[in-house]
Each structure stands twice: as structure tokens, then as C-alpha cells.
């Protein structure tokens, strides 16, 4: 996980840093405005004893106020380790802020924009999962439910263990039971099925961002850039993963790109990760076969500042849901240790 940011930049420095990123309009006036919001967010963080956790898919300017940047697993771990803050501002989507609240019931956890949801998390409800689990348990008494962390807290509470894209196969292999109901991502389930001897029964959900990336798009870039290393996220379709050089979680992509001798990479996941790589690893080239997640991009500097000024929007969970989700998340952390 990337640690806290660096010194605050003025508008001019921010413009030079961010204007290399293609898909946003970073003009000087915008960067001046961002620089003053960043300074105010940093001041409020100190005054309120707040930390900002940001997912890899966030807007690049959000990285400037983040205390930690990472993928789902790293942010879940970090949320569990928060000690000396009273407020956690979660720059990510709703289910991630819920996870922070699961580990920090006594702290205020804020999501800057309440509608920052997730198509994947929305594809499974606790009621539908309870029905399917009961139905399958009659056929497979040893059935275990493994839920990808991209789901709501009440779905996690019905799961035997959670997993992330970084540890999904490890969790499936480690949990007792040969039949695994894997929710909610069908592409990740298919990928895990290729890595394990256990029987995976997948849910019919997907991340709309990764599911829309086609093998034709990837092949086109490969033809134009012979020798490029293709790094793909396991939420992509199976035919996309087949043409990748490595199938990796977002943070594993960062480590791979840092350590590889290769200098050209095609990053097949949400575009925010490519932005992070471009900013953090100068001298290497990162090409994008990626899409923007509209939910992740709902979080802005404006909403983050508003969140700190007005303490909104606090995440609340029922005690039984929180405890059930905590157990499934703790089981993941134990099994992946
Ligand atoms: S990238 Fe996909 S899985 Fe992640 S928040 Fe967006 S829709 Fe959900």
C-alpha cells in the first residue's frame, strides 16, 4: 500500500504533476482550485484527527489527500489497524466504507458521496444469498460460502469467509469444504475454478467496468506494441485473461510493474490504477485498455472537503450484521496470513 502523501503542492506544481494524465482536463485554473482544496482538507484532517483511505481507482487529485492508497485487501487491513484517528474518510465505494466501519464501530466512518455504489455489490442481496445457500446445502452438506469483498456487509455476514482478488484461490483452498458457493463475481469465480480442485458454484454477477473490456481491444493494442506486458485483473472475462502475461490484483500490478525489467505495460483494469502507475513509476510506459468506474469517480475533492466540514455521510451498521461481517473478514485475514 502506498503511504501518506508527500508535501502539499502549489497549483503550478500540481499542474505539472497531473497534466501528464490523459483523460482528465487538468488546466492551470483547475489545479489552482484543487491546490487550495487540498490544503484545506489537510488542515481539517489535522484539526479533526481524521485519516483518508483511498482506493487505487480514485481520481488522481484524491491521492494528494490520502493517508493510504491501496486495493480492497490492503484497505481492509489498514482500516483494521487504525489507532490514532477519530474519523476515517473513505474515498472509495459504499461497501468499502462499510468494511472500515466493521473494524471501527467506535469511530466515525464517512463516505463523501452516498451514491458511490457498485454494480457488482448490487448483484447479490442477503435474501437471495440466504435462499441459494439453503438450496445448495441440501445437495452439498459441506457447502461453504466465500464472498468477494465487493459485496454489502449483510452479504458478508452470511458468508463463511470473504476474499479479495489477491487471495481468492488461497481462501478457497484453505477453507474446509469441497463445494464453494462463490459470490458475486462470475469472472473471478471462473478464474479461481481454473486454479483449484474444489468445485466452485458461481453467482451471476459481474463488475460492469471489467466485464465490458473485450479480447479484441487487448489484441489490437498487443499488435501495435509487440513485447508489451499485458497485466489483467481477474474480474475480466476468461478470454481476456487468456491473452494476459499476468493476472493480478491492482496492488500486485503495482509491484509487478516496479520489479519487472519490462518498460511497456498494458494495464487491463479500471483507469485509476494506470494513473497511479504513471505518477509513481516514471520512466516506464503504461498503456490503457481500461474503462472508468462511474461509482469510483463520484468521489471528488469537493465532496471530500464537504465530508470533513459537515461530517457526512456517516456509515451505520446493525450490530448483528457488523459482527457477522467482521467474522467473515477476520476469517479471510487468518486464512490469507
Ligand atoms: S470497478 Fe467494478 S467492482 Fe469496483 S466499484 Fe466499480 S463497479 Fe464495483
Q: Which of 209, 249, 294 to mutate to test the pocket of ligand 1 (most atoms within 8 A of CB)?
A: 209
Q: Please provide residue 55's backbone torsions phi and psi, each rounded to the nearest 5 degrees.
A: -80, 155
Domains of the chain: 11-117+296-310 (3.40.50.10800), 121-207 (3.40.50.10800), 213-288 (3.40.50.10800)
Query: What are the Cα distances from residue 301, in Å, to 35, 87, 124, 236?
Result: 10, 17, 30, 29
pLDDT at residue 22 in the model: 65
Asked if 99 and 124 count as a contact pair (C-beta separation under 8 A), the reply is: no
330 Cα–ligand 1 center, Å: 23
pLDDT at residue 1 in the model: 46
10 Cα–ligand 1 center, Å: 32
Is residue 158 exposed (0-12), middle (13-18) or buried (19+ Cβ within 10 Å)? buried
User: Ligand 1: residues within 6 Å at CB?
Assistant: 57, 93, 118-120, 150, 207-209, 270, 293, 295-296
Q: pLDDT digit of tens for each residue in the chain (337 aa)?
A: 455 556 778 889 999 888 877 667 789 999 999 999 999 999 999 999 999 999 988 999 999 999 999 887 788 888 888 888 999 999 999 999 999 999 999 999 999 999 999 999 999 999 999 999 999 999 999 999 999 999 999 999 999 999 999 899 999 999 999 999 999 999 999 999 999 999 999 999 999 999 999 999 999 999 999 999 999 999 999 999 999 999 999 889 999 999 999 999 999 998 888 888 888 898 899 988 668 899 999 999 999 999 999 999 999 999 999 999 999 999 999 998 8
Amino acid at each position: 500500500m502506498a503511504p501518506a502523501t508527500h508535501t502539499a503542492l502549489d497549483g503550478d506544481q500540481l499542474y505539472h504533476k497531473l497534466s501528464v494524465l490523459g483523460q482528465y482536463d487538468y488546466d492551470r485554473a483547475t489545479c489552482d482550485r484543487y491546490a487550495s482544496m487540498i490544503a484545506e482538507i489537510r488542515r481539517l484532517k489535522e484539526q479533526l484527527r481524521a485519516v483518508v483511505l483511498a482506493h487505487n481507482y480514485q481520481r488522481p487529485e484524491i491521492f494528494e489527500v490520502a493517508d493510504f492508497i491501496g486495493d480492497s485487501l490492503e484497505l481492509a487491513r489498514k482500516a483494521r489497524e487504525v489507532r490514532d484517528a477519530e474519523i476515517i474518510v473513505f474515498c472509495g465505494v459504499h461497501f468499502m466504507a462499510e468494511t472500515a466501519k466493521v473494524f471501527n464501530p467506535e469511530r466515525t466512518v464517512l463516505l463523501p458521496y452516498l451514491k458511490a455504489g457498485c454494480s457488482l455489490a448490487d448483484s447479490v442481496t442477503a435474501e437471495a444469498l440466504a435462499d441459494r445457500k439453503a438450496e445448495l446445502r441440501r445437495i452439498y452438506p459441506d457447502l461453504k460460502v466465500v464472498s468477494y469483498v465487493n459485496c454489502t456487509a449483510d452479504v458478508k455476514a452470511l458468508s463463511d469467509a470473504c476474499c479479495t482478488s489477491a487471495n481468492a484461490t488461497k481462501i478457497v483452498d484453505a477453507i474446509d469444504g469441497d463445494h464453494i458457493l462463490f459470490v458475486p463475481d462470475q469472472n473471478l469465480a471462473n478464474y479461481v475454478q481454473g486454479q483449484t480442485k474444489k468445485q466452485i458454484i458461481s453467482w451471476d454477477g459481474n463488475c460492469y467496468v471489467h466485464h465490458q473490456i473485450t479480447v479484441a481491444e487487448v489484441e489490437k493494442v498487443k499488435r501495435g506494441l509487440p513485447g508489451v506486458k499485458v497485466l489483467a485483473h481477474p474480474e475480466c472475462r476468461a478470454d481476456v485473461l487468456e491473452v494476459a502475461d499476468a493476472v493480478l490484483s491492482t496492488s500486485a500490478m503495482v509491484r509487478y510493474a516496479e520489479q519487472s525489467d519490462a518498460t511497456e505495460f498494458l494495464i487491463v483494469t479500471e483507469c485509476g490504477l494506470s494513473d497511479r502507475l504513471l505518477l509513481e513509476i516514471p520512466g516506464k510506459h503504461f498503456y490503457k485498455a481500461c474503462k472508468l468506474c462511474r461509482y469510483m469517480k463520484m468521489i471528488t475533492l469537493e465532496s471530500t472537503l464537504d465530508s470533513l466540514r459537515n461530517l457526512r455521510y456517516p456509515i451505520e451498521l446493525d450490530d448483528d450484521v457488523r459482527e457477522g461481517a467482521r467474522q467473515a473478514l477476520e476469517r479471510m485475514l487468518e486464512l490469507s496470513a
